Chain A
């Protein structure tokens, strides 16, 4: 399964200390995101990716302290429940 995030223009973001406040235009819902959720959305905004490709892409851009596939899947589940990520 591949994951799709909304295009950048669908989100308004505001950094608030350690968090990112996100207004999701299609839903009108505000979310407060903690890392790594904003980073996942940024990477997926370019193109839909499956779990392994996403993990690789994140590893390209960041020093992953725990390149944990299950942890990433759990984060994606949270984003899907919130409607910020959907199955492509």
Chain B
């Protein structure tokens, strides 16, 4: 059965595509994995069938509009938080485009993610609420859950612009067994000169690996792995392993390097993929040429794993029990 390997190859080596490529299958897979904009930039300038070229040009325009909207949302957050004088670090897609990084080329960007010092959280929350952001879920149970267990405020949405913001104070949930060094992330952040900052290149890659392998069920994982490929291609991997070890994320970073090498040919030579890597690859590529999610069992394994990572066993049991009762 077709999976997303064709897409991974097209991203890694656009020249390898032949004119008899199953273009609609490739485009549909890329859309479903939120990588169409990225693919469109990778194939820009290559000889392509006219209809393909037109469709990809549309995708680049759409990505450019998305980039502008993401940067504007960051700017509005900057204006709201400027009076506080605390560090505001952009994360994920918005950071990539704000830094002009190759990982940001054509990338789809959803919510605005920012990292702030934990002791500034209350002030940040108040300033955002005063500037037109509202709680998405005015629900005390969820609220208490977030505040107690998560690495971020409950999601806020701006009442005029309809855009969400996730305010983090570290990069993994507090329930996770791994505790990254959040103060070090802030200390080494690199100012953009306008009051906003980016994580250091190493921390950016470590965060991407943490997000991919230590949090969540690998949904959208191919895009996250592409981010890592681009970040390492641009900044190299000097000191990366040591930094990952410092945050307790050495295993995740090493796995990211092995998989990214395997799928995209990321430069640093690393040890060969092991048997567990094969399971991750099966999950990362679990998408067919109609955009359908495939390999339900593999997906289920990673779904259960995502809860295992986030919750202590007793809490996990309670959570799965509730989910099961809901059907």
Q: Do A and B come from one complex?
A: yes
- Chain A positions near chain B (C-beta within 8 angstroms): 25-29, 81-83, 86-87
- A81-B75 in contact (CB<8A): no
Interface centre among B65, B71, B72, B76 (most CB of A within 10 A): B72
- Chain A residues whose C-beta falls within 8 Å of the C-beta of B160 in the assembled complex: 81-82
Complexed CA–CA distance, A31 and B69 (Å): 15
- Give the secondary structure class of A's interface: loop
CB closest residue in chain A, given B79: A86
Q: Which residues of B have CB within 8 Å of A87? A: 79
Interface size class of chain B, counting residues whose CB lies under 8 Å from the partner chain: 10 to 19
* CB closest chain-A residue, reference B67: A28
Those 8 A-B pairs whose CB atoms lie nearest each other, nearest first: A27-B72, A28-B68, A28-B69, A26-B72, A28-B65, A86-B79, A83-B76, A28-B72
Query: Number of A-B pairs whose CB atoms are under 8 Å?
Result: 23
State in angstroms the CA–CA spacing of A27 and B70 once bound together. 9
* In the complex, chain A residues whose CB is within 8 Å of the CB of B75: 26, 83
Kindly state whether residue B47 has any CB partner on chain A within 8 Å: no
- Binary per-residue interface labels of chain B (152-188) against chain A in the complex, 1 for a CB within 8 Å, 0 otherwise: 0000000011000000000000000000000000000
Instruction: Report Cα–Cα, A14/B76, bound state, in Å.
Output: 25
Instruction: Assess whether B132 is interfacial by the CB under 8 Å rule.
Output: yes
Which B residue sits closest to A27, measured CB to CB? Answer: B72
Are B68 and A26 neighbours in the complex by a CB distance under 8 Å? yes
Would you give the shortest CB distance from B219 to chain A, in whole angstroms?
Answer: 27
Q: How far is the CA of A81 from the CA of B131 in the complex (A)?
A: 8
B72: chain A residues within 8 A (beta carbon)? 26-29, 83
* CB closest chain-A residue, reference B132: A81
Give the residue name and chain of the B residue nearest to A26 (CB). Answer: B72
| CB-based contact A27/B68 at 8 Å | yes
Residues of A within 8 A of B65 (CB): 28
Mark contacts of B44-75 with chain A using CB atoms, 8 A cut-off: 1 yes-contact digit, 0 otherwise: 00000000000000000000010011011001
Give A86's nearest chain B residue, CB to CB: B79
A77 to B72, CA, bound (A): 19
